[in-house]
Structure 1
Amino acid sequence: MRKRLLISFSGGRTSAFMTHWLLTNMQDEFEMPVVFANTGKEREETLEFIQQCDKHFDFNLVWIESVANYQKGKGVSARVVSFENASRNGEPFESFIKKHGIPNMGAPKCSRELKAYAIKAYARSIGWKRYTTAIGIRHDEPKRINWESANRQRIIYPLVTMIPCAKSDINSFWMKQPFEVNIINQ
C-alpha cells in the first residue's frame, strides 16, 4: 500500500518543479493529490501559470478555497473550485478578515487559515486523517524551515531531503520549458 503524500502547490516556480518531480519519480511510493489553496488575492498571471502547469505536467490539480465558519470555536472548511470559477476579488481573504480581523505581525493567521487549514480541511473531506504534506522549499533556503514544527506537523521538504535543489537548478529546469510565469512588476 502506498503512503499518503499531499502536495501543497503554492503556484510558484519552485513548487511547480517539486510537484512535477514528485509525480514523475515517486508514484510507486506515494498516493499524491496536488492541492492549490487560492486566497482570491493571487495575481491573474499566477493563476494562469498554475493552470498551465496543471495542463502541461498533468498535475490533476485540486483548486480549493477556504470557507470561514463564523461560529466560535469552529474552523475553516474548504470548497473545491476551478481555474474558471476561482475567486479573483479577494472573497476568501475578506471572509477571513470578517472572522479574524486584519492580519498583522502580532496576529499572523492569514496563511494558516487560508492555506494550511483549508488544505487540512480538504484532506479530511477525502477521508485522509494521517498523511504527510510536501512543501516546495529549496535546499538553499534553510532559514525558511523550522524542522521541529515540520516533524510535528508531518511536513517534508523534498527539494531539501530527496533531491537537494538550489535556485539555479529551478532556473535551469524552467529555461527548458515551453512556458513560464509571466508576472510583470508594476
Structure 2
Amino acid sequence: MKLENNKNIFCSVSAGYSSVMMAIMLPVWFPDHKIIYAMANTSKERNESLHFMNECNKHYNLNMTWIEAEFHEKKIGVTPKIVEYKNLKRKGEIFETGIRKFGIPNKENKWCNRDMKLEVLRKYADSIFGKDNYSVAVGLRIDEIDRVRKDYKTNNVFYPLMDYKIDSKERNRFWKNQPIQISIPAYKGNCDMCFAKSNRKLMTILKEEPNMGDWWDKMIKTYGEVPIKGKPSYNELMEQNNGLQTFYRGYRTIEDLVRMAKQPFTRATDEYIYESDLFDLEENCASGCQVF
C-alpha cells in the first residue's frame, strides 16, 4: 500500500508494455511526487528489450538509472552498480558470477531474481530516499490481481495500474498510439531463456532461434555437476538427479527442450493462453521478474 503523506516513489521498470506504461503515467497520476526510475540488467536480457527501454527512457524523459548487480565473497551481500546503457553487460557475465556463488538457479533455487534484481534495486532506492521512506510502484494490471503480494497492505508496495483500472486491453490501446514499439513478441521478452517461462515458450524460442539456448547449455555443462559449499539442499537435489542440476522443470536440459521442440506442438503466441500443464506451467516472474 502506498505510504500516506509520503511523496517519494521508486519505480522499477522491466521493459514490458505494462511496466513502461506505468512509468510514463506516474508523473500524470502523481504530479507532486519525486519519482525515481531504475532497471536492473541481469546480462541475459534480450537486446530488443534493452533497446526498447532505452528508447522509452529518452523519448519520455524518464531519467532512468541502469543498475547491475555486483557479487562479492561470502558474508558480503550483493551491491548495486550504476552503469550507462552503452556499457551494459549482455553476454551473461553477471549471471555466471552468481551461478559460481549460488549454483544453477531453478524453481527450488530462485536466487537470480532476488540478487540480480530485488536486492540491488532495494539498496539503490534506500540510498536515494532512505530506508522505508518511499513507496514502490509495481506494474501489475487489474487483470493480474492474483499476482498481488498477500502482505501489500502492510508494506510500501502499491499497484498504480490497478488503482486506475488498467487491464490488458486498455494498455494495448495506450501503446497503439505511441511512437515506440517492442520489436519482439512478449513471450520472448526479458531474460531470454528464463526457467520460469513455460515449456511452450521455451520450445517456441528454440524452434525460432536455435542458438538462444547455447549460453544456458554451457552453464549446465560447466556448473551443473559442481556442488555448492554451504548449500546442502541444493547438493541433495543434485544427487537425486544423478549428480546434475539444471535450470528447467523436471531437471530438463536445453538438449531435452530441443528434442521436445522437434515434435509437433502449438507454438506460443501473444494472442492465446494455453492450458496444458505439460507445456504452459510457469512462474509469476516469467513475464518479467517481479520485484518487491
Fold equivalence (TM over 0.5): yes
Q: Flag the structure with larger Rg.
A: 2
Q: CA distance change for structure 1 residues 96 and 151 in 2, over 3 Å: closer, same or farther?
A: farther
Distance across 1 between alignment mates of 2:87 and 2:144? 34
Q: Could you tell me whether the CA contact under 8 Å between 2:8 and 2:129 is conserved in 1?
A: no
Amino acid at match of 1:13: Y
Q: Which of the two has greater helix per residue?
A: 2
Task: Show the counterpart of 2:174.
Answer: 173
| Count of aligned positions | 182
Q: Which of the two has greater strand per residue?
A: 1
Out of 33, 36, 52, the residue aligned to residue 36 of structure 2 is 33
Moved segments of 4+, more than 6 Å? none
Amino acid at match of 1:108: K
Does 2:62 align with 1:59?
yes
Residues 56-97 of structure 1 show CA distances to partners (whole Å, capped at 9, x for unaligned) of: 11100000011112222x221100112111110112211221
Task: Show the counterpart of 2:135.
Answer: 132
Alignment of 1:96-115 (within 5 A): 96-115=98-117
Q: Could you tell me whether the CA contact under 8 Å between 2:80 and 2:124 is conserved in 1?
A: yes
Does 2:4 align with 1:3?
no
Q: Where does the alignment leave 5 or more consecutive residues of structure 2 unmatched?
A: 186-204, 209-292
Task: Show the counterpart of 1:75.
Answer: 77
Distance across 2 between alignment mates of 1:97 and 1:80? 21
Q: Where does the alignment leave 5 or more consecutive residues of structure 1 unmatched?
A: none
Q: CA distance change for structure 1 residues 100 and 8 in 2, over 3 Å: closer, same or farther?
A: same
Amino acid at match of 2:184: I
Q: CA distance change for structure 1 residues 145 and 51 in 2, over 3 Å: closer, same or farther?
A: same
Q: CA distance change for structure 1 residues 89 and 54 in 2, over 3 Å: closer, same or farther?
A: same
Shift, 1:153, TM fit = 4.3
Distance across 1 between alignment mates of 2:111 and 2:74? 17
Out of 40, 47, 50, the residue aligned to residue 50 of structure 2 is 47
Shift, 1:157, TM fit = 1.0
Distance across 1 between alignment mates of 2:131 and 2:65? 18
Shift, 1:147, TM fit = 2.8
TM (norm. structure 2) is 0.59
Task: Show the counterpart of 1:20.
Answer: 24
Distance across 2 between alignment mates of 1:88 and 1:152? 37
Shift, 1:121, TM fit = 1.6
TM (norm. structure 1) is 0.91
Amino acid at match of 2:183: N
Residues 27-57 of structure 1 show CA distances to partners (whole Å, capped at 9, x for unaligned) of: 30x2110010111101111011001110111
- 3-state secondary structure, aligned to 1:104: coil
